[in-house]
Amino acid sequence: SGKLKLETLLKEGELKHDLVQRTKWGNKITVSHSAILSKDVEGNVMGIITIGTDITTLVETENKLAELNQFLEKRVVEKTEELAGLYDRISDVVIVLDNNWNYTYVNNNGL
């Protein structure tokens, strides 16, 4: 994998990737790495310039947000099913429209 990344860097002149690493205290952190080639005026590679940024908090926040979205999507499905059951028990006609005046639910009671 390291060889492939070096080949990519040499071919494209730049490379960006995220990597889970351990600190000297043993903590796992996620680091976003960026690297570019340093070249002389003739285009010969003189070295590689790299920078790493600790994005652990960002990754953790994104993961928590994804979990929350999954939870909320599940709750929307549950509440939608609950409302559909409620609407079916009503003896009158129930028509539900969205903000664009599209039908989202119609029960057949009372028709």
- Tell me the HSE value of 72 on the side-chain side, using a 13 A CA sphere: 6
pLDDT band at 26 (very low <50, low <70, confident <90, very high): very high
Mode of pairing for the β-strands spanning 95-97 and 45-54: unpaired
Alpha helices in the chain (DSSP H): 2-12, 56-89
Q: For residue 40, what are the β-bridge partners?
A: none
| 49-58 LR contacts (CB < 8 Å, sep 24+) | 54/29, 54/30, 55/18, 55/30, 55/31, 56/28, 56/29, 56/30, 58/30
Q: Over 70: is that where the pLDDT of 24 sits? A: yes
Q: Over 70: is that where the pLDDT of 29 sits? A: yes
Considering only residues 6 and 76, tell me which one the structure prediction assigns the higher pLDDT. Answer: 76
Residues 42-100 have pLDDT tens digits of: 989 999 999 999 999 999 999 999 999 999 999 999 998 888 777 777 778 888 899 99
For residue 73, the model assigns a pLDDT of 96
- On average, the pLDDT of the chain sits at 89
